[in-house]
Amino acid sequence: MSEELKVNYVDHISIAVRNLNKAVEDYKHAFGWEVAGRYSDLNEKIRVCYFMAGSTAIELVEDIDGTGETARFIERFGEGVMIVSYNVDSCSHALELLKRNGVRVIDEKPRLAKEQDRRFAFIHPKACHGVVKEVIDGKY
């Protein structure tokens, strides 16, 4: 029997886009939302703009130079949902539980999101029917 992963809530949903500025304007027009924040992660080669839908961030993610994971995702699948992220109390503990459950993971140990001082790790999309899942701790 597998151990249950305790999840606090869906932390964020990352949507890969070709043109961040256009996508932001489209979301503002469609939903009337205001931008909650922006950041760049040079290690991940992404620019991000996000909106808050309740406690869940909707991230629009653009590849910085066309060589990162987001660019490869768009090349293979087109624009769309790339990551569903679950907020957990401890990324390290969640990752260990997933590995004990036999889940195929991308990260053997948590990465650090310096901009937000949070730890995160990815679950391989083949373990979740084609969608990358993420466990992340801390607050958005």
Do residues 3 and 97 touch, judged by C-beta distance below 8 A? yes
* Residue range 104-126: mean pLDDT, rounded: 92
Q: In this structure, what token pair is assigned to residue 111?
A: 């990465």
- 54 falls within a domain: yes
* Residue range 112-130: mean pLDDT, rounded: 90
pLDDT digits (tens, 9 = 90+) for 65-98: 999 999 999 999 999 999 999 999 999 999 999 9
Give the chain's domain count.
1
* Residues spanned by the domain of 28: 9-136
Do residues 138 and 116 touch, judged by C-beta distance below 8 A? yes
**Helical H segments across 1-140, by residue range:** 20-31, 69-77, 91-100
- 4 falls within a domain: no
- 1 falls within a domain: no
Say which CATH number the domain at 51 has.
3.10.180.10
* C-alpha Rg value of the chain to the nearest Å: 15
- 93 falls within a domain: yes
Whole-prediction pTM value? 0.92
Closest by CA to 56, choosing from 122, 9, 5, is 9
Tell me: pLDDT of 115 over 80: no
* Predicted pLDDT at 32: 97
- 130 falls within a domain: yes
